[in-house]
Structures are given as C-alpha cells and as structure tokens.
C-alpha cells in the first residue's frame, strides 16, 4: 500500500469524496514522498578519483591473473569466495601457506564445491572459515594479495572461466583496494552476515541497490547494463523511469534466467533496448552497469531482492571513462553477436 492509500485508510478518507483541502494535502504529501524516494536513491555518491592502475580482467584471464598473484604473494593472501572448485588455485593457496604467507580464506558454507575446498584447505593447514548467512549465502568474490585485489562477479568454480564475466584489478595502494581489505578484515574478525554498508567505493546490502538506482536516476544520456539476474522492482522501475525521460537504456540479460521474462517485458514496455545474450552453453554472469559513459557499478550482487536484502555481497562503484568505454565496447560486441 502506498503512502496515499495508507493515509486514506488511516484517516477514513475517500479519494473521490474527500474535501478539497484534504485532497490537496494528500497530493502534497504524495509529492513529498516521491521526492524523498528519488533523493534517497541518489544519496549514495559515486566517487571520482584517479583510475590509474585500475584494470578490468575478463573471462579466463581472471584465472591466470589470480594464479600469478597467488604464486607471487609474499606476505598476504586473503580470499573470500562463494564458489571455489578450481584445483590449481587450491594447490597454489596451499603452497603459499607452506612458504609462510598469511593465508586466510572465507568460503560459503552452502556451496558444494566450496565445502570440498574447505576440507582440502583445512587439511593443508590453511586458515579457513565457513560463512553461514541466515537464509542466504556469502556471495562475495574477492582476492587480496600484496599487489592489490581482484573484486567482481567471477567465481572460482570448475566451469566459471567459460562464463562471460569480469573482475576489477585494483593496486594495493588505491583507496578502493584499501576499502576491500577493510571489508575482508571485518568479515574475518566479526563473522559474515548480511549488512548494509556504503563506503566511498565499496557497497554491501541495500546500499548496492541505492548506488545502482542513484546512478540510474542521475543519468542524462545513456545506461548500459550486463546482468545475470534481474528482478528487483526498485531497480526495474528506476530503469523504466530513465527510459521514460529519454535516457538510452540498453540491457543485456542471460537467456536462461527465469526472471528475465518479467524484466525483459517490463523494460521493453518502457522503451528500453533489452537483448538476450547469445550463449554457447556459458552464462552471462556479469553484473555491471555504466551510466553516461563514465559511472561504473559492478560486483557480486545480482539485481535481485534477495541479493540486496538477504545475501552478503560486495560491489564497487567508481568513475572512469577509460574503463566505462571498455565495458561499452564489450556490450556492443555482445549485441553484434546476437544479430
């Protein structure tokens, strides 16, 4: 029930027969509520900062980058991963622990491959903990080493590397990387749980929804998105409003997700350009948005109510025309394959 309906019910007012003053008051209150919602959606700013050293890593190259950093780790190797079933990465982490690196691993307690990875790492003497999120999952995908961090949506499952997916490579001295490290430290010291957090660069819980809708509401020219799963009504309505005010909205969806039927029809009805990824068996597993060819929001969270309100997730947001252009080039390349 919206605010106007609640006021009518509480005060015994009837929308058709209320006196003029009452109806006018209700309209004002409803307008104020709308403004408050929009302001709330825009309340999480996306930081502008030097993007020197930030790089996007796609597909199978994520595995290669992860192996290189793990093998070169000298003092620190911290990993939080939803799905980990890649044996080479497991063995590399064990070798790092053997040579005296501070190896700490957090794995989701519900994922089958991660449960086996937990048993292997524990036998190898690695510090490893299982994360049990009430009603949800620890969906974070984060690697931290002396050189920096990899953060994004790519799991380390046996079949993950075939998916269309990406991570952000961040130097150790970048403030975004420092926030990712603080995120892991909190998870390690205090336990993993769903929580709402909005830093300068890093977002969890409902704050991910806020930064997404904020970027959409502020967009003036274009929005491009590649998203695995999309069913959150707040995000969908925000995208539809953007299309309605003349912003070019382009959305690429994974064709095998059941939620995509509703999202596809809803957004297409608003005038958005909605397309289905052309798959050869792999998934479109990315979760990334680019607004006005500059603002980037990406990370582990699908755009679903469950991701925002139940799971433990980790997203980053930043401004970079260079990296935004790379994502847009990929979007257009994928769209060209559909024809």
CATH topology of domain 199-338: Endonuclease; Chain A (3.30.870)
Q: Give me the residue label for tokens 């949800």.
A: 136
The Cα–Cα gap between 102 and 255 comes to 41
pLDDT band at 42 (very low <50, low <70, confident <90, very high): very low
Residue 264: how many CA atoms within 13 Å on its side-chain side?
15
User: pTM of the predicted model, to two decimals?
Assistant: 0.86
Contact, 194 vs 311, CB < 8 A? yes
CATH topology of domain 55-190: Endonuclease; Chain A (3.30.870)
Residue 48: its pLDDT value, please?
55
Residue 339: its pLDDT value, please?
65
Query: Which is higher by pLDDT, 337 or 12?
Result: 337
Residue 24: its pLDDT value, please?
41
Residues 6+ apart with CB under 8 A from 288: 153, 166, 225, 226, 227, 296, 297, 298, 327
- The ranges of the chain annotated as CATH 3.30.870.10 are 55-190, 199-338
| Assigned token pair, 190 | 């205090």
Task: Answer whether residue 70 shows pLDDT above 60.
Answer: yes
Residue range 85-131, pLDDT digits in tens: 999 999 999 999 999 999 999 999 999 999 999 999 999 999 999 99
pLDDT band at 46 (very low <50, low <70, confident <90, very high): low
Residue range 13-41, pLDDT digits in tens: 333 333 344 334 334 433 443 343 344 44
How much of the chain exceeds pLDDT 90, in percent? Answer: 83
pLDDT band at 47 (very low <50, low <70, confident <90, very high): low
Coil vs helix vs strand at 263 = helix
DSSP conformational letter for 160: G
Residue range 128-154, pLDDT digits in tens: 999 999 999 999 999 999 999 999 999
């Amino acid at each position: 029930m919206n605010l106007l309906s609640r006021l009518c019910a509480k005060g015994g007012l009837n929308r058709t027969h209320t006196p003029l003053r009452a109806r006018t008051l209700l309209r004002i209150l409803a307008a104020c509520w709308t403004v408050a919602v929009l302001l709330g959606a825009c309340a999480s700013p996306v930081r502008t900062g030097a993007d020197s050293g930030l790089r996007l890593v796609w597909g199978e190259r994520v595995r290669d980058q992860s192996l290189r950093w793990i093998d070169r780790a000298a003092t620190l190797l911290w990993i939080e991963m939803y799905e980990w079933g890649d044996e080479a990465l497991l063995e590399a982490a064990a070798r790092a622990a053997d040579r005296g690196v501070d190896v700490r691993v957090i794995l989701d307690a519900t994922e089958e491959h991660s449960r086996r990875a937990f048993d292997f790492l524990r036998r190898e003497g690695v510090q490893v903990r299982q994360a049990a999120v009430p009603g949800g999952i620890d969906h974070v995908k984060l690697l931290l080493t002396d050189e920096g961090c990899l953060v994004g949506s790519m799991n380390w499952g046996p079949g993950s590397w075939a998916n269309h997916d990406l991570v952000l490579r961040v130097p150790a001295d970048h403030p975004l990387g420092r926030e990712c490290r603080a995120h892991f430290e909190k998870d390690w010291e205090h336990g993993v749980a769903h929580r709402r957090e909005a830093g300068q660069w890093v977002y969890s819980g409902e704050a991910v929804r806020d930064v997404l809708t904020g970027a959409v509401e502020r967009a003036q020219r274009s929005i491009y998105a590649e998203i695995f799963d999309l069913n959150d009504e707040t995000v969908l309505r925000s995208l539809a409003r953007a299309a309605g005010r003349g912003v070019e909205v382009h959305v690429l969806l994974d064709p095998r997700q059941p939620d995509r039927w509703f999202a596809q029809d809803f957004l297409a009805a608003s005038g958005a350009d909605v397309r289905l990824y052309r798959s050869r068996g792999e998934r479109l597993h990315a979760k990334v948005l680019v607004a006005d060819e500059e603002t980037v929001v990406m990370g582990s969270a699908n755009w679903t109510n469950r991701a925002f309100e139940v799971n433990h997730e980790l997203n980053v947001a930043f401004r970079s025309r260079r990296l935004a252009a790379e994502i847009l080039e990929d979007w257009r390349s994928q769209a060209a394959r559909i024809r």
